[in-house]
Amino acid sequence: MATSETTTRDRIISAAAKLFYDEGIRRVSVDAVAEEAGVTKRTLYYHFASKDDLVAAYLAGRDQPSFSKFQHWYRESEGPLPERIKAVFAGLARSARHPKWKGCGFLRTSAELANMPGHPAMKIGAAHKRRLEDWLADLFEAEDVQQPRTLARQVVLLIDGAFAVVLLNRDPGYIETAGAAAATLVAAAMDGRSA
């Protein structure tokens, strides 16, 4: 029975993820998620106390896969640190060229919930962005880069800013331009390393 419950819960989260990412969380009703998942509304509420809990589960489910992509693009790249950071942006730009790409689910959700800072999904989104920033800071610190935390924050700003501009202009070239800027920042920080 536990396997069946897990399967049902996962099916609901999968349906919610598709609908929330495609249409936005405010536009999608609990009824629509239940229908997409092939369950009753009562079954959905058995697994999730509220739509807020479902939105939080949707974002929690995006955390590891999204973070893994960043790590993969970095690991698969070659060359010095600035080029490897630039490769992460190149991976993002490739993703943005997919016809179903609609930006960063964490940022889109936070925009919809901007007036609800205590919402559980806002906390999950903030934790995801901190995790990305921490990972970058660790990479920079391992390379003895000056002010690794500040540099990580600058790179995250370039990533998120590029997401926003691409959503407006539908031109993934902005992500590549942000990648070149990030590589320049990283190279400058490396030039300033202590001997």
> What digits encode the pLDDT tens for the residues 70-88?
999 999 999 999 999 999 9
% of the chain residues with pLDDT over 90: 94
Report the alpha-carbon angle 172-178-183, nearest 5.
Answer: 135
Per-residue pLDDT reduced to its tens digit, 138-156? 999 999 998 999 999 999 9
Q: Report pTM.
A: 0.91
SS3 at position 65: helix
Tell me: the pLDDT tens digits for 85-105?
A: 999 999 999 999 999 999 999
pLDDT band at 127 (very low <50, low <70, confident <90, very high): very high
pLDDT at position 193: 66
Supply angle C-alpha 10, 95, 100, rounded to 5.
Answer: 60
> Long-range contacts made by residues 125-129, C-beta under 8 angstroms, separation at least 24?
125/59, 127/63, 128/59, 128/62, 128/63, 128/66, 128/67, 129/156, 129/160
What are the chain's domains?
1-48 (1.10.10.60), 61-191 (1.10.357.10)
Q: What is the pLDDT of residue 194?
A: 53
Distances (CA, A) of 152 to 1, 17, 31, 131: 45, 28, 41, 11
Q: What is the pLDDT of residue 84?
A: 98
Closest CA to 73 of 93, 99, 59: 93
Tokens linked to 184 = 């320049």
One DSSP character per residue, 128-195 reads HHHHHHHHHHHHHHHTT-SSHHHHHHHHHHHHHHHHHHHHHH--THHHHHHHHHHHHHHHHHHHT---
How far apart CA 129 and CA 148 sit, in angstroms, is 16
Q: How many CB atoms lie within 10 A of CB 124?
A: 22
Mean pLDDT of 16-42: 97
Output the six-digit token pair for 30: 């609990």
| Reported confidence tier of residue 192, pLDDT bands at 50, 70, 90 | confident
